[in-house]
Amino acid sequence: MTFDQKRDIVGVDWKALSFPIPRRWATTLQDGLKRTWASSWATVLAYEGERLVGVARVLSDGARETLIVCAAVLREYQRRGIGTAMMPDLIES
């Protein structure tokens, strides 16, 4: 399987990005996704063609503490190495 990784959030479909969030919360939280992801220390988004299939992001104080706050892959794309492939890009950021 081939997929592309992107580190920025320019042009992200925020509705598609809401997939890690439980459906019952997605509508309410979707409006805040752009703001919260924009404040991330680093982001990695995995795409198969135009479809967003995996996401990961990190928060950091820029000095000592760094925390992976989200890492998710669409269910039908799991166990294909997408999450594993996103981690080095996230860590290097």
- What are the domain boundaries of the chain? 4-92
Q: pLDDT by residue (tens digit) across 23-74?
A: 555 555 666 777 788 888 988 999 998 888 899 999 988 888 888 888 889 8
SS (H, E, C) 30-81: HHHHHHHHHCCCEEEEEEECCEEEEEEEEEECCCCCEEEEEEEECHHHCCCC
Judged against a pLDDT cut of 70, whether residue 4 lies above it is answered with yes
Long-range contacts of 32-40 (CB under 8 A, 24+ apart): 34/9, 37/9, 37/12, 38/9, 40/69
pLDDT confidence of residue 9: 80
pLDDT confidence of residue 51: 87
pLDDT confidence of residue 44: 92
Q: What is the CATH number of domain 4-92?
A: 3.40.630.30
Cα→Cα distances 39→34, 59, 61, 70, 82, Å: 9, 8, 11, 13, 23
pTM over 0.85, yes/no: no
